[in-house]
Structure 1
């Protein structure tokens, strides 16, 4: 996985079509604010419709859905709704270590059995390092779970948690390095944070740091990511071909 393109619950049908046509290795559908209300229920229903439509297309891009945090009551409702069609994977919005990942793996195994899916069919991506505890837990991901598909460094959330006015600085740079090492030790892609402008130079700098891909916010950024992170390059002992 070199690129993961995010789109939200308010994306138009044209935006969704553009996301699928972008060439991204994976798409990440967000369900919106983590509240049990009509908006989230509509977002779940739309996610199921998008997943079902993707299933009818041969060779469709891998589709992940960002679910509620594992410790939230909403995660059960999210997973129950999604395991009609079943996404290719789920993304954890804040994954503070391997224990969180393993709790999600158990929840997925139950839903897979109920839906008649193969055990392990649903992969897990995770935003990591988004708060101080999450940064300190990064080393726990080595060998954490065979379902793990990618680790994405959540730099923006870390800056908010630390009260920093902007990205950068010694603490954030240390956290970036630890996120890169965590992905490498887990044998999965390490995805750089999104770049608002989609500047190829920023992607190139991320590659030199050790990231193996990046999060995209718009379809046009995907091509630039793929120019910087060549197909087939593998600097890790990946657990799978995700």
Structure 2
């Protein structure tokens, strides 16, 4: 999954458009995009969205944060309809992940479901930044870790999180810690949304930088952001050709720790990178 498109949980119209688009996954949102007075109605709407015919596009649901007292009501409304995953906002550490996993285990048993993926948004509070290296082995449902800057700005008391589409240092720190934390946990790192709506070159730049640095996907808030994100996270023909060359060289020399390709020394980390490229390419074919 390369692109995660947020869809307000109270907008059937936006869901219809998004489900006909090219996003690899939708995040049906019960949190920030839904007013407090509309939460109950949105739960019913999201339940109906989950029952709509599905293709290859995954459907995740972002529930309200654990400290709101609304999480269980959200889960009770959506879990009978087997979402592909649950997005947990304002996750402050492994204890929050365990609590959600405990809730999910009960709903999975009740409705005869398999394990539900968890995508945790792990940088939305100041406290969360101090636990990002502690997620390894906490629960097998953890599929990915996403960073976010909007709520973090409020938590830090910052006046802004970026200028001219460049994040300020505290937010770059959060981004980088999320990336490292996800790698340490062995899960997918998901880049935050691009807040610039109309300049797709900024979306493209952010997505390319995210993939370059090791993120495996990016969240988006507008359907027109999906295409540049999907392109950025799809291996190019040159990358695939390089990966095949590396894997072929090691296959021909199975006991070698280092091989020579095009006059350069290539070692085992390159082989692992080549396998990751081929895995990503295979998923897009």
Do both share a fold (TM > 0.5)? yes
For 2:10 and 2:105, locate their aligned partners in 1 and report how far apart those are by CA, in whole Å: 30
Residues of 1 paired with 2:158 and 2:217: CA distance?
Answer: 25
Root mean square deviation, CA, Å:
2.6
Q: Give 1:191-230 correspondences, 5 Å limit.
A: 191-195=190-194, 196-197=196-197, 198=200, 199-230=203-234
Q: 1:227 to 1:37 in 2, by over 3 A?
A: closer
1:42 to partner: Cα distance = 0.6
Q: Alpha-carbon deviation of 1:220?
A: 1.6
Corresponding position of 1:11? 11
Correspondence for 1:129: 123
Provide the rounded CA distance (Å) in 2 between the counterparts of 1:28 and 1:174: 25
Cα distance between partner residues in 2 of 1:174 and 1:81: 36
Higher-Rg member (1/2): 2
**Structure 2 stretches of 5 or more lacking a match?**
162-166, 241-274
Q: Deviations over 1:191-238 (max 9, x none)?
A: 111112342112222223332221111112111101111169837x9x
Check conservation: 2:4, 2:27, Cα contact below 8 A. Answer: yes
1:60-71 → structure 2 map (5 Å cutoff): 60-71=56-67
The two structures have a TM-score, normalised by structure 1, of 0.86
Partner of residue 80, structure 2? 84
Aligned residue in 2 for 1:234? 276
- Comparing 129-138 and 26-35, the one that deviates more: 26-35
Q: Indicate if the aligned counterparts of 1:35 and 1:74 stay in contact, CA closer than 8 A.
A: no
2:133–2:185 contact (8 Å) kept in structure 1: no
Alignment of 1:89-238 (within 5 A): 89-118=85-114, 120=115, 122-167=116-161, 168-195=167-194, 196-197=196-197, 198=200, 199-230=203-234, 234=276
Give the deviation of 1:90 after TM superposition: 0.9
Q: SS in structure 1 opposite 2:211?
A: helix
Deviations 1:6-52 (A, max 9, x none): 01134242x21221122222110111459996511110000110101
Task: Indicate the structure with greater helix content.
Answer: 2
Measured in 2, the distance between the counterparts of 1:170 and 1:161 equals 15
Q: Distance in 1 between matches of 2:151 and 2:37?
A: 26
Distance (whole Å) between structure 1 residues aligned to residue 109 and residue 33 of structure 2? 26
CA contact (8 A) 1:69 1:75 kept: yes
Matched positions, count? 232
Shift in alpha-carbon separation, 1:85–1:130, aligned structure 2, 3 A? same
SS across alignment from 2:81: coil
